[in-house]
Amino acid sequence: RRYLVMALTLCLFWNTFGLSAAMDSKPNILLFLADDLGIGDIGCYGNSTIRTPNIDRLAREGVKLTQHIAAAPLCTPSRAAFLTGRYPIRSGMASSNGYRALQWNAGSGGLPANETTFARLLQQQGYTTALIGKWHQGVNCESFNDHCHHPLNHGFDYFYGMPFTLLNNCQENKPPELDVALQAKLWLYSQIITLAVLTLTAGKLTGLISIHWKIIACFTLVGSLFFVSWYSSYGFVQYWNCILMRNHDITEQPMRLETTASLMLKESVSFIKRNRHGPFLLFVSFLHVHTPLFTTGKFLGKSRHGLYGDNVEEMDWMVGKILDSLDKEGLKNHTLTYFASDHGGQLEAQDGSAQLGGWNGIYKGGKGMGGWEGGIRVPGVFRWPGVLPAGTVIDEPTSLMDIYPTVVHLAGGILPQDRVIDGRNLVPLLQGRAQKSEHEFLFHYCGSYLHAVRWHQKDSGTIWKAHYVTPVFHPPGAGACYGKGICPCFGEGVTHHNPPLLFDLSRDPSEAKPLSADTEPLFDAVLRKIARAIEEHRRTLTPVPEQLSLYNIMWKPWLQPCCGTFPFCWCDKEGDSTQIF
Question: Which residues, 6+ apart, have CB-to-CB distance to 575 below 8 Å?
Answer: none
CB count, 10 Å around CB of 534? Answer: 15
> Please, what is the angle between helix 306-328 and helix 53-60, to 10°?
50
Residue of 68, 136, 154, 444 with catalytic role:
136
CA 18 to centroid of chain Cα atoms: 36
In the chain (581 residues long), the average pLDDT of successive 10-residue segments reads 46 44 78 98 97 98 98 98 98 95 96 98 98 98 96 98 94 72 79 92 88 90 82 76 97 96 98 96 98 95 95 98 98 98 96 91 97 98 98 98 98 97 98 97 98 96 97 93 92 97 98 97 98 98 96 93 90 71 58
Residue of 11, 44, 68, 75 with catalytic role:
75
Q: Report the C-alpha dihedral over residues 534, 536, 541, 542, rounded to 10 degrees.
A: 140
Three-state secondary-structure class, residue 273? helix
Strand order from edge to edge, sheet including 462-471: 441-446, 449-457, 462-471, 494-504
Active site residue 467: no
Rounded-to-integer distance, Cα 122 and Cα 281, Å: 8
Rounded-to-integer distance, Cα 407 and Cα 30, Å: 10
Rounded-to-integer distance, Cα 557 and Cα 232, Å: 10
How many CA atoms within 13 Å lie on the side-chain side of 561? 35
Rounded-to-integer distance, Cα 12 and Cα 527, Å: 47
Q: Is the CB of residue 401 less than 8 Å from the CB of residue 425? A: no
Ramachandran bin of 348, using left for φ above 0, alpha for ψ from -120 to 50, beta for the remaining angles: alpha
The helix (H) or strand (E) run that includes residue 382 is strand 377-383
The helix (H) or strand (E) run that includes residue 122 is helix 118-124
Q: Is the CB of residue 263 less than 8 Å from the CB of residue 578? A: yes
Rounded alpha-carbon distances, angstroms, from residue 205 to 195, 199, 210, 214, 366: 15, 10, 10, 14, 56
Q: Which of 433, 339, 329, 435 has its CA nearest to residue 384? A: 339
Q: Is the CB of residue 240 less than 8 Å from the CB of residue 99? A: no
Rounded-to-integer distance, Cα 227 and Cα 186, Å: 7
Rounded alpha-carbon distances, angstroms, from residue 230 to 188, 198, 359: 10, 20, 34
Question: Which residues, 6+ apart, have CB-to-CB distance to 358 below 8 Å?
Answer: 36, 37, 38, 40, 41, 289, 308, 344, 345, 346, 366, 367
Three-state secondary-structure class, residue 314? helix
Q: Is the CB of residue 235 less than 8 Å from the CB of residue 183? A: no
Active site residue 487: no
Rounded-to-integer distance, Cα 165 and Cα 100, Å: 14
Three-state secondary-structure class, residue 207? coil
DSSP state string for 87-120: -HHHHT-S-SSS--S---TT-S--S-TT---HHH
Question: Which residues, 6+ apart, have CB-to-CB distance to 419 below 8 Å?
Answer: 86, 90, 116
Q: Which amino acid would we find at residue 293?
A: L
Rounded-to-integer distance, Cα 531 and Cα 129, Å: 41
